Amino acid sequence: MTKERIHQIIFEADTPKGKAFDIGLLIAILLSVLVVMLESVDSINQEYETLLRALEWGFTILFTIEYFLRIYSINKSTKYIFSTMGIIDLLAILPTYLIFIIPSLHTLTVIRVVRIIRIFRVFKLKRYIRGAYTMQIALRKSIPKITVFLLSVLLLIIILGAIMYIIEGEWGGNPDFQDIPNSIYWSIVTLTTVGYGNVVPVTVTGKIIASIIMLLGYGIIAVPTGIITAGIVKTNKNISTQACINCSKEGHDDDAECCKYCGSQIHN
Amino acid sequence: MTKERIHQIIFEADTPKGKAFDIGLLIAILLSVLVVMLESVDSINQEYETLLRALEWGFTILFTIEYFLRIYSINKSTKYIFSTMGIIDLLAILPTYLIFIIPSLHTLTVIRVVRIIRIFRVFKLKRYIRGAYTMQIALRKSIPKITVFLLSVLLLIIILGAIMYIIEGEWGGNPDFQDIPNSIYWSIVTLTTVGYGNVVPVTVTGKIIASIIMLLGYGIIAVPTGIITAGIVKTNKNISTQACINCSKEGHDDDAECCKYCGSQIHN
Amino acid sequence: MTKERIHQIIFEADTPKGKAFDIGLLIAILLSVLVVMLESVDSINQEYETLLRALEWGFTILFTIEYFLRIYSINKSTKYIFSTMGIIDLLAILPTYLIFIIPSLHTLTVIRVVRIIRIFRVFKLKRYIRGAYTMQIALRKSIPKITVFLLSVLLLIIILGAIMYIIEGEWGGNPDFQDIPNSIYWSIVTLTTVGYGNVVPVTVTGKIIASIIMLLGYGIIAVPTGIITAGIVKTNKNISTQACINCSKEGHDDDAECCKYCGSQIHN
Amino acid sequence: MTKERIHQIIFEADTPKGKAFDIGLLIAILLSVLVVMLESVDSINQEYETLLRALEWGFTILFTIEYFLRIYSINKSTKYIFSTMGIIDLLAILPTYLIFIIPSLHTLTVIRVVRIIRIFRVFKLKRYIRGAYTMQIALRKSIPKITVFLLSVLLLIIILGAIMYIIEGEWGGNPDFQDIPNSIYWSIVTLTTVGYGNVVPVTVTGKIIASIIMLLGYGIIAVPTGIITAGIVKTNKNISTQACINCSKEGHDDDAECCKYCGSQIHN
């Protein structure tokens, strides 16, 4: 098989063989992650140890072959090896070999769940990428606002945690609020509306402040939602990616016939 | 009664009899589901066994008559039988007969709650269908973006679950994080901000990572909300693209018959 | 004092006396609700019984005078008495008298918290009413879509509750899922991401379905948010409240000069 | 060093020295807050007491020098001292000195966490300020609507709390609902979907009302989200209302200098 054919099958999904490869890869990834999960369950691991070990080696060898075929068939192989996807592809196979050589590293085994990220390999279909792309633009535009919001939330959490430490821990004698880090942890649990309930305020003042934190957490969720929604709404409005030939400025509307900065015609 | 009259009463809601039938059906559905629920409560079932059994048979016979009238009065009866609604109509009556024949199948009894889906039969009113329809368009458009989002969340949950398994389970010795599936389950409980609180991290590192998961879950809810909101906003915009012939101004509503600036007629 | 002057002070907030009355009323309402709350706390009630009782009678007599002044000063007093606000005004004073006459009705005492609704009386300021009005339009427009959504959620909850009843209760033997109503209650607790944690699934299948319910609940919150946001965005677009003189149709844009249905001029 | 140079370094971030100062300040703030947190943890405080005390004094002296340099280098020093940021700068150093003089005030130590607010000092970068500014406008516009919403939620919580007090506490005999304030606290915990789970309804009626509260809380979160999103979307829309003089078409962006349809200049 020529290098080009291998590349076509592994990296693209246009041909029937390419599609079949993608579906096979998807199933292999999902099964191999399932094996990693089941291995961690003691009762299952003891009963089916041989089977799980065999499957693990099967998938590892399969992914190793695939990894080297990718390096072989791609033109800029060095670039691929050090790309995010290349490193993930390597992390998906390396732990099994490492543990085989040095058995004491058995905790590394869990690193293999990064295999699940490889699922994104299979989603090459245009409409998914387009959807992801629009969202990425919208999210990237929202970063400055989101940063300001996150910072404010972090500050709020730290200050509210410190206040609860004094009221509940120092004054109320509640052992669950005995230090600031634990009070901040409780603050996060409450503000995000997770509410485990293993740590709760017991004093009246503590309950009042807790109520304020809950209502705050319930209300300020509206802010990031508003930011991201507005970002997506704006991105949806089909801004043309075309630059003006004359002044090379961008950001024209889709229906624009002339550049809004210099007035020269835009050929769509 | 002619086939047409029966069809009109059962399938449409325009005539007084059709409306009366719909309201009767609505009440019958709700009561029959209530009976299924109460039957499952041991104390009530023991005391009112005869009454509940009688009601159950009453509703089953009623729905059976209705089912056969539907098949009789509709033109393409085969198409109806194998449609989603036809199957639900059948599932609503079948379990009672099956359990009568083979009493050991009594678990099947619960299938009868699908009767509740039949409520949608009654909501034939135009404005509800219109509302549902607009939403369906908006949701369908959002599918590629939502898929990418859901996939990212699933990956996040699996990887965070695996990390917590190592930190809390392997290193921290927390029995609640003893295997990856349970850690992933905890991840889901925390990320979705449900937070049962029966399983909580005990180590400092575990609490820090849990805090990150909570803040993530609190924040990324903004993404699907943004996607769907933007989809609905876009779908809602019923603004016509037509310009007025007389004054050539644009921006008329879809239902406009006259130009809102000069008053001359718009030919849609 | 004339009837007109009393009306001006009680019902309007334009004059200094009217404003002073409103602020006084606001404080009286808040204090009287505080008294109702404190009365329910046994330890406080026993210690300050005389004071609380005296305050309660003070506020009741105050509100009674106000109530009769409202009836006296308003033109259509019958209409006021049977309006929502009139009934709330009556419910705010009646329980105290009733319990005085028939002491066994002491549970009625709690009805007095409806006094808090009277706070809305004080918010006559234009910008608040305008804000509330825009929101009301937006929410009213969203009703058909919200109804469809709520119905779908209710169906989901009932069916998921029934499934959990079989899996956890019947097959898993979990006593917390022993009947359908309790399973549905748990479904609601989980889907709304409240997650008390006193009832949790124990079987593997139960945990998997619980995970699906959580992710569903986490995701579908986006739908009502999207509906209401789109409604508010649309309403924000300044739709004029003016009806056409010729055809009396409404819903014209703020910048419309002619009726979009019949073409006759609109005098803004 | 001249007064101007000091001002430039401390208050601005345009010069390399100004940037270096900002980064140094950021690290000092974060470390000093970490010290405050660790001091509150008994086990750490006992082992590293000398180190923590030394670090605390180091940071306090550093911030004191910075504080006086700010006062010295700024023109309107009185205005700075009584500004929000000036007071926070003072609160960040005062507690350490006060506790040194009067050791019994050791609870004051926690006030030092307000240092974290000083982080905002460092974020002078334009795009962050711009992001925060747009959000501020959007949020300020939403205040009347948000006020009406918050008020409605507070009323709902109080009334639902009172109802639960009667049903669960009075009639159901549940000790967790023994007074109205505690019932209201539970109402807040449930409505905000925090759901600690240490207090739960036990009666059937109580569970039904709890279900309604949960569904309400799950649903009405859509309202503030809608309000804020609509506010941000509106603020984002920098579309000029100006029509082109040449072709009289509208819908140009705020920064447009030429008509996007015919290319002739727009005089803003």
Residue C238: the pLDDT is 53
Residues D11 and D60 both lie in one domain: yes
Test mutation, A227, A244, A250, chain D, max D CBs within 10 A = A227
Q: Which of A164-178, D196-210, D242-256 has the lowest mean pLDDT?
A: D242-256
Residues B118 and B163 both lie in one domain: no
Residue D240: the pLDDT is 47
Distance in angstroms (rounded) separating the CA atoms of residues C29 and C115:
6
Test mutation, D140, D142, D145, D183, chain C, max C CBs within 10 A = D145
Looking at beta carbons, which residues of chain D come within 8 Å of A263?
257-259, 263-265
Looking at beta carbons, which residues of chain B come within 8 Å of D197?
196-197
The token pair at A6 is 């291998």
| Residue in A195, A225, A229 nearest the CB of C195 | A195
Kindly indicate the confidence band of residue A128, based on its pLDDT and cuts at 50, 70 and 90. Answer: low
Q: Where are the alpha helices (DSSP H) in chain D?
A: 3-11, 16-40, 42-47, 49-73, 77-81, 84-91, 94-101, 119-122, 126-164, 180-191, 204-220, 222-236
pLDDT surpasses 50 at D268:
no
| Residue in B110, B135, B192 nearest the CB of C215 | B192
User: Residue A99: left (phi > 0), alpha (psi -120 to 50), or beta?
Assistant: alpha
Which of B124, B151, B174 delimits the end of a domain? B124
Query: Residue C42 is part of a domain; what is its CATH number?
Result: 1.20.120.350
How many beta-carbon contacts under 8 Å exist across B and D? 10
Distance in angstroms (rounded) separating the CA atoms of residues D191 and B193:
14
Residues B157 and B222 both lie in one domain: yes
Average pLDDT over residues D53-75: 91
Residue C7 lies in a domain: yes
Average pLDDT over residues B147-156: 86
Average pLDDT over residues B144-172: 89
Distance in angstroms (rounded) separating the CA atoms of residues B265 and C263:
7
Residue D204: the pLDDT is 93
Kindly indicate the confidence band of residue A18, based on its pLDDT and cuts at 50, 70 and 90. Answer: confident
Distance in angstroms (rounded) separating the CA atoms of residues B213 and D140:
31
pLDDT surpasses 90 at D19:
no
Looking at beta carbons, which residues of chain A come within 8 Å of C194?
195
| Residue in C144, C158, C260 nearest the CB of B256 | C260
Residue B32: the pLDDT is 92
Q: Is D180–C40 a contact, with Cβ atoms under 8 angstroms apart?
A: yes
Over the stretch B117-132, which tens digit does the pLDDT of each residue have? 888 777 655 556 666 6
Average pLDDT over residues B100-118: 83
Residue A268: the pLDDT is 47
Q: Is D196–A196 a contact, with Cβ atoms under 8 angstroms apart?
A: yes
Residue C203 lies in a domain: yes
Residue A138: the pLDDT is 76
Task: List, as one string, the DSSP characters of B112-146.
Answer: GGGGGGGHHHH---HHHHHHHHHHHHHHHHHHHHH
User: Which residues of chain C have a pLDDT value below 70?
Assistant: 1, 123-131, 236-268
| Residue in D193, D225, D233 nearest the CB of B225 | D225
Residues A119 and A20 both lie in one domain: yes
Q: Is C192–D223 a contact, with Cβ atoms under 8 angstroms apart?
A: no
Helix (H, G, I), strand (E, B) or coil at C239: strand
How many beta-carbon contacts under 8 Å exist across A and D? 170
The token pair at C101 is 């006459």
In this structure, are residues C155 and C161 in contact, taking their beta carbons and an 8 Å threshold?
no
Kindly indicate the confidence band of residue D11, based on its pLDDT and cuts at 50, 70 and 90. Answer: confident
Which of D106, D124, D142 delimits the end of a domain? D124
Torsions phi, psi for B258 (to 5 deg): -125, 150
Distance in angstroms (rounded) separating the CA atoms of residues A120 and B213:
22
| Residue in D33, D107, D135 nearest the CB of A148 | D135
Residue B250 lies in a domain: no
Test mutation, A145, A153, A160, A208, chain D, max D CBs within 10 A = A145
Task: List, as one string, the DSSP characters of chain A.
Answer: --HHHHHHHHH--SSHHHHHHHHHHHHHHHHHHHHHHHHHSHHHHHHSHHHHHHHHHHHHHHHHHHHHHHHHH-SSHHHHHTSHHHHHHHHTTHHHHHHHH-GGGGGGGGGGGGGGGGHHHH---HHHHHHHHHHHHHHHHHHHHHHHHHHHHHHHHHHHHHHHIIIIIIIT--GGGSSHHHHHHHHHHHHTT---SSS---SHHHHHHHHHHHHHHHHHTHHHHHHHHHHHHHHHTTB--PPPTTT-----BTT-SB-TTT--B---
Q: How far is C121 from chain A (nearest CA, A)?
A: 24
Residue D264 lies in a domain: no
Torsions phi, psi for C265 (to 5 deg): -65, 145
Residues C114 and C148 both lie in one domain: no
Whole-prediction pTM value?
0.85
Average pLDDT over residues B137-147: 80
Query: B130: which residues sit within 8 A by CB, 6+ positions away?
Result: C144
pLDDT surpasses 50 at B102:
yes
Which of D124, D143, D161 delimits the end of a domain? D124
Q: Is D263–A261 a contact, with Cβ atoms under 8 angstroms apart?
A: no
Residue A267: the pLDDT is 54
Residue A104 lies in a domain: yes
| Residue in D148, D229, D234 nearest the CB of C128 | D148
In this structure, are residues C180 and B40 in contact, taking their beta carbons and an 8 Å threshold?
yes
Cβ neighbour number for residue A172 with a 10 Å cutoff = 17
Residue C130: the pLDDT is 67
Residue B205: the pLDDT is 94
Q: Is C127–D144 a contact, with Cβ atoms under 8 angstroms apart?
A: yes
Q: Is C257–B262 a contact, with Cβ atoms under 8 angstroms apart?
A: yes
The token pair at D194 is 């925090």
Test mutation, C171, C174, C227, C233, chain B, max B CBs within 10 A = C227
Residue range of the domain that includes C221: 132-233
Residue D246 lies in a domain: no
Looking at beta carbons, which residues of chain B come within 8 Å of A198?
197, 200
| Residue in A154, A159, A263 nearest the CB of D263 | A263
Q: Is B107–C217 a contact, with Cβ atoms under 8 angstroms apart?
A: no
Q: Is A197–C193 a contact, with Cβ atoms under 8 angstroms apart?
A: no
Q: Which of A186-190, B169-173, C107-111 has the lowest mean pLDDT?
A: C107-111
What's the mean pLDDT when you consider all of chain A? 83
Q: Is D193–B197 a contact, with Cβ atoms under 8 angstroms apart?
A: no
Residue C27: the pLDDT is 92
Residues A119 and A9 both lie in one domain: yes
Residues A88 and A138 both lie in one domain: no
Kindly indicate the confidence band of residue A209, based on its pLDDT and cuts at 50, 70 and 90. Answer: very high
pLDDT surpasses 60 at D267:
no
Q: D265 has which bridge partners?
A: D258
Higher pLDDT, C245 or D202: D202
Chains that touch C (3 or more CB pairs under 8 A): A, B, D
Cα distances from B233 to residues A229, B155, C174, D226, in angstroms, run 10, 29, 45, 12
Residues B53 and B106 both lie in one domain: yes
Residue A260: the pLDDT is 62
Q: Is A127–B144 a contact, with Cβ atoms under 8 angstroms apart?
A: yes
Residue B198 lies in a domain: yes
Residues C200 and C139 both lie in one domain: yes
Looking at beta carbons, which residues of chain A come within 8 Å of D41?
179-181
Q: How many domains does chain D have?
A: 2
Residues A110 and A149 both lie in one domain: no
Kindly indicate the confidence band of residue A17, based on its pLDDT and cuts at 50, 70 and 90. Answer: confident
Chains that touch B (3 or more CB pairs under 8 A): A, C, D
Q: Is D37–A180 a contact, with Cβ atoms under 8 angstroms apart?
A: yes
Residue D78: the pLDDT is 87
Query: Residue C141 is part of a domain; what is its CATH number?
Result: 1.10.287.70
Residues A110 and A223 both lie in one domain: no
Over the stretch A82-121, which tens digit does the pLDDT of each residue have? 988 888 889 889 988 988 898 887 777 788 888 888 887 7
Average pLDDT over residues D221-250: 72
Residue D22: the pLDDT is 85
Q: How far is A214 from chain C (nearest CA, A)?
A: 12
| Residue in A193, A197, A229 nearest the CB of C229 | A229
Task: List, as one string, the DSSP characters of B253-268.
Answer: BTT-SB-TTT--B---
Query: B206: which residues sit within 8 A by CB, 6+ positions away?
Result: B164, B167, B168, B172, B174, B177
Average pLDDT over residues A215-223: 89
Helix (H, G, I), strand (E, B) or coil at D205: helix
Test mutation, C38, C84, C110, C127, chain D, max D CBs within 10 A = C110
Higher pLDDT, A242 or D161: D161
pLDDT surpasses 80 at D138:
no
Residue C238 lies in a domain: no
Kindly indicate the confidence band of residue B240, based on its pLDDT and cuts at 50, 70 and 90. Answer: very low
Residues D146 and D55 both lie in one domain: no
Polymer length in residues for chain C: 268
Residue A189: the pLDDT is 95
Q: Which of C203, C199, C206 is nearest to C181 (CA)?
A: C199
What's the mean pLDDT when you consider all of chain D? 83
